[in-house]
Amino acid sequence: MNNSNTNNGEYILVKALDNGVTISGLTRGRDTKFHHTEKLDRGEVMIAQFTEQTSAMKIKGRARVYTIHGIVEAGE
- Integer angstrom CA distances of residue 74 from 28, 31, 47, 64, 65: 23, 26, 16, 6, 7
Domains of the chain: 4-74 (2.60.40.50)
Burial class (CB in 10 A: 0-12, 13-18, 19+), 14: buried
76 residues of the chain, pLDDT tens digit each: 344 444 467 899 999 999 999 999 888 777 778 788 999 999 999 999 888 888 888 999 999 999 999 999 999 7
pLDDT at 8: 60
pLDDT at 64: 97
Per-residue pLDDT of 16-37, as tens digits, reads 999 999 999 888 777 778 788 9
